[in-house]
């Protein structure tokens, strides 16, 4: 009995082992088949999905995610990611973590953020070749920043600091000390000159342009009957003053009409006609208000951009003064981290009027400094945050991309109300080239034309507006702290004539 039972048990166990082995083999095979089947099912779905399959590999993953981020224009892109859930089982095991663990989890973030990015990217396409690469790099950083609020690179900086453990407190170390210095300089606050009527008060600063445009043209017009040589001379004068050919032709044509109609008989008539025509050319109806008033839920943000040495920092400081004089609380963001002196310079401007400043370490990521400045401005409840950016060659795609990043990062936090391009009036045609390139990277809302006091080419104002369609909002008329004036077409033309 017991032997038979024992034999029966042994046989049963052996049979069971064989059965398990067979089942295991079959299951294992099925697994292998199912893996190959999934891609096979994905492929037929549509061409795009094929790429999803490849995303198991390095290229497809970044490619697929890229097209989603780049084409962020909403609904069309969102349906694409939905098929992802199917392949998910694959990525989970290993594929995704291996190449880039970020893309997986970060994927949803870019989708939301891509909205703004998409708009800027096409614009930035100016330097198609290399640009795509920097974008890939910047976007992940940007995305990580705002979420955790550590910002793009600020993250990395704060991290090492705590590691050094003991001493100084980590992150806010950079911005806060600067802001804390407010109390001391307060007693030395400057007295700011009245902001009203500045352009009229500073009209003398336009004397060089006045001589080149007003005096010359009026002299010719007042000479009586004008022959073709005289008209040509008027034309040359206006072109020399940088009005540009289009504005010059219009002005000369209109003057001819007025004279032919017998409307100009005296020197005063000539002056009045010229003034009227020039003012028309300056599009007096354009909105030239600087969007620097706070919103219900936060400060206004003004970004100041331009190439090296045009007067960005000076203009930012001058603008802060004007705002403070208008009763506004201002925070300055020293996002020019390439030149330490620029941050010092801006800090001095701030201290003179009691404006706080947020600055980063030299060489820090400008976008993170800008982001911190806006965050601080919000926390402090200020009315406006003015961000001074580093001068950059408009011909350097990488630097320009970085500027685009500054704007995008700030926009994670709050809307950028104004992007002011600072142009040096003395550089003429090159200024227009700069403006066009900057406009492609960060859509400009206004131009500040500096150093008009040092040039006879004030006619550049006409040309900038004509060719860019962006209004000149402010003009720099000297190195003095209050030598910034709002641009008013009538007062400007008055100063020229």
Ligand X SMILES: Nc1nc2c(ncn2[C@@H]2O[C@H](COP(=O)(O)OP(=O)(O)OP(=O)(O)O)[C@@H](O)[C@H]2O)c(=O)[nH]1
Pick from 312, 394, 405, 412 the residue near ligand X by CB under 6 A.
Answer: 312
Cα separation, 376 vs 154, in Å, equals 14
For the bound state, the minimum distance from the C-beta of residue 189 to ligand X, rounded and expressed in Å, comes to 21
Contacts (Cβ under 8 Å, ≥6 apart) of 324: 192, 330, 353, 354, 355
203 binds ligand X (CB under 6 A): no
Residue 316, token pair as written in the block: 């930012």
Strands 446-450 and 472-476: parallel
Q: Which is nearer to ligand X, 310 or 387 (CB)?
A: 310
Contact 286, 471 (CB under 8 A): yes
387 binds ligand X (CB under 6 A): no
Contact 52, 38 (CB under 8 A): no
Q: Is 248 flagged in the annotation as binding?
A: no
Q: Which is nearer to ligand X, 312 or 405 (CB)?
A: 312
> Which range touches ligand X (CB under 6 A), out of 236-244, 302-310, 411-419, 460-468?
302-310
320 binds ligand X (CB under 6 A): no
430 binds ligand X (CB under 6 A): no
Q: Is 11 flagged in the annotation as binding?
A: no
For the bound state, the minimum distance from the C-beta of residue 184 to ligand X, rounded and expressed in Å, comes to 24
Contact 303, 443 (CB under 8 A): no
For the bound state, the minimum distance from the C-beta of residue 172 to ligand X, rounded and expressed in Å, comes to 25
For the bound state, the minimum distance from the C-beta of residue 145 to ligand X, rounded and expressed in Å, comes to 24
For the bound state, the minimum distance from the C-beta of residue 475 to ligand X, rounded and expressed in Å, comes to 7
Q: Which is nearer to ligand X, 237 or 450 (CB)?
A: 450
CB atoms within 10 A of CB 226: 16
Q: Is 306 flagged in the annotation as binding?
A: yes
385 backbone dihedrals φ, ψ, rounded to 5°:
-115, 120
Q: Which is nearer to ligand X, 217 or 477 (CB)?
A: 477
Q: Is 397 flagged in the annotation as binding?
A: no
> Which range touches ligand X (CB under 6 A), out of 41-49, 93-101, 250-258, 312-320?
312-320
For the bound state, the minimum distance from the C-beta of residue 493 to ligand X, rounded and expressed in Å, comes to 19
Q: Which is nearer to ligand X, 178 or 346 (CB)?
A: 346
**Count of residues touching ligand X (by CB under 6 A):** 21
- 3-state SS assignment for residue 330: strand
For the bound state, the minimum distance from the C-beta of residue 394 to ligand X, rounded and expressed in Å, comes to 12
Contacts (Cβ under 8 Å, ≥6 apart) of 491: 199, 200, 203
DSSP string for 230-257: HHHHHHHHHHHTT--HHHHHHHHHHHHH
CA distances from 96 to 45, 47, 107, 147 (A): 22, 21, 12, 21
Contact 320, 386 (CB under 8 A): yes
450 binds ligand X (CB under 6 A): yes
User: Which residue is listed with tokens 């900086």?
Assistant: 157
Cα separation, 474 vs 319, in Å, equals 9
> Which range touches ligand X (CB under 6 A), out of 262-270, 320-328, 449-457, 460-468?
449-457
For the bound state, the minimum distance from the C-beta of residue 43 to ligand X, rounded and expressed in Å, comes to 53
Q: Is 313 flagged in the annotation as binding?
A: yes
201 binds ligand X (CB under 6 A): no
Pick from 477, 485, 491, 495 the residue near ligand X by CB under 6 A.
Answer: 477
CA distances from 385 to 239, 302, 303, 353, 487 (A): 39, 6, 8, 14, 22
DSSP string for 117-128: HHHHHHHHTTSH
Q: Which is nearer to ligand X, 38 or 339 (CB)?
A: 339
Residue 156, token pair as written in the block: 């990395």
Could you tell me which residues are beta bridge partners of residue 356?
331
Pick from 313, 347, 376, 434 the residue near ligand X by CB under 6 A.
Answer: 313
Nearest to 185 by CA among 357, 351, 349, 356: 351
426 binds ligand X (CB under 6 A): no
237 binds ligand X (CB under 6 A): no
Pick from 302, 305, 310, 437 the residue near ligand X by CB under 6 A.
Answer: 310
> Which range touches ligand X (CB under 6 A), out of 123-131, 214-222, 269-277, 309-317?
309-317
> Residues 332-351 vs ligand X: string with x where CB under 6 A?
----x--x--x---------
Cα separation, 358 vs 173, in Å, equals 10
Contacts (Cβ under 8 Å, ≥6 apart) of 461: 282, 425, 449, 472, 475, 487, 492
Contact 380, 373 (CB under 8 A): no
478 binds ligand X (CB under 6 A): yes
Q: Which is nearer to ligand X, 138 or 314 (CB)?
A: 314
Pick from 93, 97, 204, 309 the residue near ligand X by CB under 6 A.
Answer: 309
Q: Is 453 flagged in the annotation as binding?
A: yes
> Which range touches ligand X (CB under 6 A), out of 81-89, 156-164, 243-251, 476-484?
476-484
- Residues found near ligand X in the complex (CB under 6 A): 306, 308-314, 336, 339, 342, 391, 450-451, 453-454, 476-479, 483
Q: Which positions make up the binding site?
A: 306-313, 388-392, 450-453
Q: Which positions make up the binding site for GTP?
A: 306-313, 388-392, 450-453
């Amino acid at each position: 009995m017991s032997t038979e039972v024992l034999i029966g048990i042994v046989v049963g166990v052996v049979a069971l082992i064989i059965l398990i082995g067979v089942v295991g083999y079959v299951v294992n095979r099925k697994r292998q088949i199912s893996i190959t089947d999934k891609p096979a099912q994905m492929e037929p779905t549509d061409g795009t999905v094929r790429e999803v399959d490849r995303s198991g590999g390095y290229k497809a993953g970044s490619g697929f995610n890229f097209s989603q981020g780049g084409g962020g224009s909403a609904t069309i892109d969102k349906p694409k990611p939905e098929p992802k859930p199917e392949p998910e089982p694959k990525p989970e095991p290993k594929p995704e973590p291996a190449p880039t663990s970020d893309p997986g989890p970060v994927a949803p973030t870019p989708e939301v953020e891509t909205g703004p990015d998409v708009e800027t990217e096409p614009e930035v396409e100016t330097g198609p070749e290399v640009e795509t690469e920097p974008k890939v790099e910047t976007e992940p950083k940007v995305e990580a920043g705002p979420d955790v609020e550590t910002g793009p690179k600020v993250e990395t900086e704060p991290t090492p600091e705590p590691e050094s453990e003991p001493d100084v407190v980590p992150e806010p170390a950079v911005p806060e000390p600067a802001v804390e210095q407010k109390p001391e300089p307060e007693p030395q606050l400057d007295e700011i000159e009245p902001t009203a009527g500045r352009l009229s008060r500073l009209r003398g600063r336009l004397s060089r342009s006045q001589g080149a445009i007003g005096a010359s043209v009026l002299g010719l017009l007042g000479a009586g009957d004008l022959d073709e040589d005289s008209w040509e001379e008027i034309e040359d004068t206006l072109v020399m003053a940088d009005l540009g050919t289009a504005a010059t032709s219009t002005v000369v044509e209109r003057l001819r009409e007025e004279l032919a109609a017998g409307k100009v008989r005296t020197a005063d008539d000539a002056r009045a006609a010229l003034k009227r025509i020039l003012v028309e050319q300056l599009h007096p109806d354009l909105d030239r208000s600087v969007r620097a008033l706070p919103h219900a839920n936060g400060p206004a943000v003004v970004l100041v951009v331009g190439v090296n040495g045009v007067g960005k920092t000076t203009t930012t400081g001058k603008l802060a003064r004007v705002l403070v004089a208008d009763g506004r609380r201002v925070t300055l963001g020293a996002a020019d981290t390439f030149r330490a002196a620029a941050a010092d310079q801006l800090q001095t401007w701030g201290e003179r009027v009691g404006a706080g400043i947020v600055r980063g370490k030299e060489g820090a990521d400008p976008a993170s400094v800008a982001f911190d400045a806006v965050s601080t401005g919000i926390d402090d409840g200020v009315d406006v945050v003015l961000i001074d950016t580093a001068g950059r060659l408009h011909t350097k795609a990488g630097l320009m991309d970085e500027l685009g990043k500054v704007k995008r990062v700030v926009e994670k936090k709050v809307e950028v109300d104004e992007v002011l391009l600072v142009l040096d009036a003395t550089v003429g045609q090159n200024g227009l080239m700069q403006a066009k390139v900057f406009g492609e990277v960060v859509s400009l809302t206004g131009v500040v034309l500096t150093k008009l006091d040092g040039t006879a080419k004030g006619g550049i104002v006409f040309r900038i507006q004509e060719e860019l369609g962006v209004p000149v909002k402010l003009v720099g008329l000297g190195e003095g702290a209050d030598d910034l004036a709002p641009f008013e077409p009538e007062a400007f033309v008055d100063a020229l004539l």
